[in-house]
Amino acid sequence: MKTDYLDKFTGTLLGVSIGDTLGHPFEGVLRERIYSRFSDFKEFIRSNKKLFNTYTDDTQLTLHTAKALIQGSGFNEDYFIREYVEWLEDPPIGPGFGCISSIQKLKYGISWKKAASNSGGNGTTMRVSPIGLFYCKDIKNLKIFALHSSNIT
């Protein structure tokens, strides 16, 4: 059973990273524009390999979320804050202003309740998968900690 969870975590983190890397060149681009640029996706990738050479802050923060859960043996606000502040040193790749602003405030000791940007961005949804996996058998805490992790930024 333990191996099964490890496989799920590994698969999820790889899936996030691969999806992020493949989607990165198209972030913010309308579907119609993407379709108009190429007709054969495989050919497009072969011709534009340099576009697919990096992941973004979505993967970075997902990995830091997973590390915080492991280090804290579950959700622990202090570990999350420490990991997200450490992410600032990674350096971040393409973060939104709200996320960066909140985490910079955390870095300087402002409480997460005051640091939260309430920007309405999608960053929290991009990094929440480790929480879903960690609390997959505890739906009540899954909801609580997914929301709480969102409130941090």
Q: Is residue 47 part of a domain?
A: no
Q: Is residue 32 part of a domain?
A: no
CATH of residue 138: 1.10.4080.10
Distance CA 28, CA 49 (A): 19
Q: Is residue 27 part of a domain?
A: no
Q: Is residue 125 part of a domain?
A: yes
Q: 0.75 cut: is pTM over it?
A: yes
pLDDT, tens digit (0-9, with 9 covering 90-100), for 41-51: 777 777 777 77
CA distances from 11 to 39, 133, 137, 153 (A): 30, 11, 18, 26
Instruction: Tell me what the pLDDT averaged over the chain comes to.
Output: 86
Per cent of the chain over pLDDT 70 is 94
Token pair of 126 as six digits: 């991009």
Contact 20, 60 (CB under 8 A): no
Instruction: Please report which confidence band the pLDDT of residue 1 belongs to, taking 50, 70 and 90 as the band edges.
Output: very low
What is the predicted pLDDT for the residue at 98? 81
Q: Is residue 43 part of a domain?
A: no
Q: Is residue 70 part of a domain?
A: yes
Instruction: Please report which confidence band the pLDDT of residue 59 belongs to, taking 50, 70 and 90 as the band edges.
Output: very high
Q: Is residue 87 part of a domain?
A: yes
pLDDT at 14 over 80: yes
DSSP state of 90: S
Structural domain that includes position 98: 2-21+55-152
Domain count, the chain: 1
* DSSP element (H, E) containing 16: helix 2-23
pLDDT at 55 over 80: yes
